[in-house]
Amino acid sequence: MKDFLPLFPLKLVVFPEERINLHVFEPRYKQLIRECEQNGTTFGVPAYIDNKISDYGTELELVSIEKRYDNGELDIKTRGVGVFKIESFYRTTPNKLYSGADIERMVDQDQGDLALYEIIREKVDELFVIMNLENNLEIEHNEYKTYHIAHHVGFSLEQEYEFLCLFSERERQNYMLEHLIKLLPVVREMERLKKRAQLNGHFKNVISPK
């Protein structure tokens, strides 16, 4: 289905179902959010990568306006709805300050594989242990999707965008698992080198050979 969507480009990737807080200070986006509040409409966040607006982005709904400043700036809460593709981009929407686009909403084609979810969870747990980080990614099994942990597995911005452009959960599972399999040995080696570096300069009890 093609439709018009006002755009709020950001130098990040937002995933469906993700909740994101934004501070809105530019006049064009203050206008956009006011209209979303008044009309109950959504807006799109395409990723801004390599100094250009990407073809795909995530549609967001305005959940709440948490704070209104005297100068018109806003603190807002939003939630990702789904992925869209830009068909026609308009740098300035007629009679508005913000940009917009005719978009096509993308639809996922299948469910994930439960066995792959378990393998991915094990790899993510291992990653957090190696890096000595607390794992707070407790997700109910029946609600679990790779989108929910995509910001926590060491993707670059470009990889997050590639991940967003996969339109089946099985494809995203395979992409994430392949990434983790490649990443874990690198992280292990980095942590080993860091520990060795921390030992430098300390007195060592060295036993000489007989």
Dist. CA 100–CA 93, nearest whole Å: 6
Percent of the chain with pLDDT over 90: 75
- Residue 143 pLDDT level (bands cut at 50, 70, 90): low
Dist. CA 83–CA 94, nearest whole Å: 24
Least confident segment among 14-23, 101-110, 154-163, 184-193: 184-193
> Mean pLDDT over residues 176-182, rounded?
97
The token pair that represents 135 in the structure block = 């794992």
In one letter, which amino acid is 47?
A
Q: Domains of the chain by range and CATH?
A: 2-105 (2.30.130.40), 114-199 (no CATH)
- Residue 145 pLDDT level (bands cut at 50, 70, 90): confident
Q: Identify the CA nearest to 165 among candidates 106, 117, 80, 110.
A: 106
Higher-scoring residue by pLDDT: 88, 1? 88
Q: Identify the CA nearest to 68 among candidates 32, 18, 34, 19.
A: 34
